[in-house]
Amino acid sequence: IDQRMVPVNDEGILLRRYTYNSSDECATKCNKRINDGCISFNFHENMTVCELLKKPWYESSEDLKMLMSPGWSHFQQEYSEDKKDPCSPTPCSSDSVCIRYSQLVTDHFDSSLKLYACTKNTGLKQRFDSGFTDCYFNILYGIDYKINQISDYAEKEASLQDHFDQCIDHDCMGFVCQHGTTEKITCWMKNGTYKPEGIHEQNPTLNTWIARCENRTEIR
């Protein structure tokens, strides 16, 4: 709180500025642009300014500095330097799709996570086979995504990895989860068509992981 990470010189560290009403919206955009390098962000609630950044801050940082800035908050995800796409090459069977996932951007990075799930969801498989091969779980922060719920997978408590490992045994398209940790989190598994006609409701106690298969150029 009251901290803003500022590049000493730009050098492409600032990915982009947006106008959003909440840090949840800013975090959602950072997660969506994670392949473009977003791993941290600054947010000013009163000015509704969201700054996406391509570097995390460390005490030893020479090209970044953390400033005491009233109204600003800084959030970051921590990744290893050798982070690679877990779906290239795909670890999934030919009748399924590999979908990348990520943690909440406000959580400390858990290096034990596989960061992918395999699913046989029909809509996602058709989308992938049509050439939309950049598949990932987008995180919607503070959102309850009301699409079809898998009846035998409701309010289950498990590790984040265990939840995603169960995707292959269901028509899995995503999860709605309560706030928790990577070791223990309560989730509801969701399914549906590729672009479900679901109702999005704001709920500060929930976050949604929803699968997408796109071309890289579609992500903005």
60 and 101, same domain (yes or no): no
Q: Has residue 194 got a pLDDT over 60?
A: no
pLDDT of residue 96: 96
Domain containing 107: what range?
97-218
pLDDT of residue 176: 94
Domain limit, last residue, from 13, 44, 76? 76
Q: What is the 3-state secondary structure (H, E, C) of the chain?
A: CCEEEEECCCCCCEEEEEECCCHHHHHHHHHHCHHHCCCEEEEECCCCEEEEECCCCCCCCCCEEEEECCCEEEEECCCCCCCCCCCCCCCCCCCCEEEECCCCCCCCCCCCCCCEEEECCHHHHHHHHCCCCEEEEEEEEEEEEECCECCCCCCEEECHHHHHHHHHHCCCCEEEEECCCCCCEEEEEECCCCCCCCEEEEEEEEEEEEEEEECHHHCC
Here the CATH number for the domain that contains residue 58 is: 3.50.4.10
161 and 104, same domain (yes or no): yes
16 and 114, same domain (yes or no): no
pLDDT of residue 104: 82
- Total number of domains in the chain: 2
Q: Spell out the residues 6+ positions from residue 97 whose beta carbon is closer than 8 angstroms to its own.
A: 118, 119, 120, 121, 124, 125, 128, 135, 213
22 and 57, same domain (yes or no): yes
119 and 16, same domain (yes or no): no
156 and 190, same domain (yes or no): yes
Please identify which residue in the block is written with the tokens 């995503």: 174
Average pLDDT over residues 8-13: 72
Q: Has residue 60 got a pLDDT over 70?
A: no
Q: What is the pLDDT of residues 127-147, one digit of tens each?
A: 999 999 999 998 888 888 888
Whether 84 is covered by a domain: the verdict is no
Q: What is the pLDDT of residues 159-181, one digit of tens each?
A: 999 999 999 998 899 999 998 88
Note the pTM of the prediction, 2 decimals.
Answer: 0.73
Whether 184 is covered by a domain: the verdict is yes
Q: Has residue 98 got a pLDDT over 90?
A: yes
130 and 41, same domain (yes or no): no
Q: Has residue 108 got a pLDDT over 70?
A: no
pLDDT of residue 174: 93
Average pLDDT over residues 82-104: 87
205 and 133, same domain (yes or no): yes
Q: Has residue 200 got a pLDDT over 80?
A: no
pLDDT of residue 12: 76
